Structure 1
Amino acid sequence: MDGKTLRQLQQEVDAYIGQFREGYFRPLSMLARMAEEVGELAREVNHRYGEKPKKPGEAEGDIALELADILFIVICFANSMGIDLEEAFDRVMHKYNTRDADRWTRVNKE
């Protein structure tokens, strides 16, 4: 990402999508697309760390690319709904930092 902000990523995706007449998919189509991408990630993780080995001769997948595909569709979803992901992320981190402040065992930093 070369230090890009979420806002910059949203602008980059918007410029990409803006090249096409079709534009952003409708919300249910995007949700289906997101489920597909999460499924592809799950398949790669299961092959690498789970009980299901790849078929002989099947190429190794790229977990980083699968995660990036998910990020792309999340950004598309947010852009299509006018959601600022930086602002939403700040809100969710506030939620985790308050709601889950004492939920986990902290690492002692001396």
Structure 2
Amino acid sequence: MNYTTEEIQKRVDDYISQFKEGYFSPLSLQARLTEEVGEMAREINHRYGEKPKKNTEQDKALQEELGDVLFVLTCFANSLDMDLSDAFEQSMNKIETRDKNRWTRKNGGNNDE
């Protein structure tokens, strides 16, 4: 299934809105995001790095960890009343301007274009 960022934000909000506690504070969400990114990093290290899993460790899918990061980022955006599409657009505009000549283009074109 494919979701727009608007649909992702609404689905997360519909879920969180069921509970009296609501969204965590920004500081708690930052801690949770750090935790989830750490779990994703651990999976990447096991899969692509030099640290294999112990026999007793459960295999967690990297995609699941990435989904957890997306969920917490969405909670963060929702709790601060921010639109993920707007945040993405701002980021891409910055990157496309700042880094437009930074990398070698596949089409063989000049980076000075």
- Whether TM exceeds 0.5 here: the answer is yes
Shift in Å, 1:91 = 1.2
Q: Does 1:31 align with 2:30?
A: yes
Q: Which amino acid aligns with 1:16?
A: Y
Shift in Å, 1:4 = 1.3
Aligned partner of 1:99 in structure 2 is 98
| Structure 1 residue runs without a partner (length 5+) | none
Shift in Å, 1:46 = 0.8
Q: Secondary structure at the match of 1:95?
A: helix
2-side partners of 1:80 and 1:91: how far apart? Answer: 19
Q: Does 1:5 align with 2:4?
A: yes
Of 83-92 and 51-60, more deviation after overlay is shown by 51-60
Shift in Å, 1:57 = 3.9
Shift in Å, 1:58 = 2.5
Shift in Å, 1:59 = 2.5
Q: What is the TM-score when the length of structure 2 is the normalising length?
A: 0.91
1-side partners of 2:95 and 2:8: how far apart? Answer: 23
Of 71-80 and 90-99, more deviation after overlay is shown by 90-99
Aligned partner of 1:56 in structure 2 is 55
Q: Secondary structure at the match of 2:19?
A: coil
Q: Alignment length, in residue pairs?
A: 108
1-side partners of 2:70 and 2:61: how far apart? Answer: 14
**Structure 1 residue ranges (4+ consecutive) displaced by more than 2 angstroms after TM superposition:** none
Q: Deviations over 1:41-95 (max 9, x none)?
A: 0111111111111112423220000000000000000000010111111111111
Q: Secondary structure at the match of 1:46?
A: helix
1-side partners of 2:36 and 2:5: how far apart? Answer: 20
Q: What is the TM-score when the length of structure 1 is the normalising length?
A: 0.93
2-side partners of 1:59 and 1:74: how far apart? Answer: 25
In percent, how many aligned pairs have the same letter? 56
2-side partners of 1:46 and 1:75: how far apart? Answer: 25
| Structure 2 residue runs without a partner (length 5+) | 109-113
